[in-house]
Amino acid sequence: MGLWYPKDTGFELTAFLDSDHAGCLDSRKSTSGGIQFLGGDKLVSWSSKKQDCTSMSSTEAEYVSLSACCAQVLSMRTQLTDYGFHFDKIPMYCDSKAAIAISCNPVQHSCTKHIDVLYHFIKKKVEKGIVELFFVETEYQLANLFTKALPVERFQYLVRRLGMRCLTPAELEALVNESA
Ordered structural domains, the chain, with CATH:
10-149 (3.30.420.10)
Query: Does the pLDDT at position 45 exceed 70?
Result: yes
Query: Cα separation of 47 and 35, whole Å?
Result: 7
Query: Does the pLDDT at position 163 exceed 70?
Result: yes
Tens digit of pLDDT for each residue in 66-113? 999 999 999 999 999 998 989 989 999 999 999 999 899 866 655 565
In order, the DSSP letters of 128-178 are TTSEEEEE--GGG-GGGGGTS---HHHHHHHHHHTTEE---HHHHHHHHHH
* pLDDT for res 92: 98
49 three-state secondary structure? strand
* pLDDT for res 108: 63
Q: 162 vs 165, which has greater pLDDT? A: 162
* pLDDT for res 88: 87
Query: Does the pLDDT at position 115 exceed 70?
Result: no
This prediction's pTM:
0.85
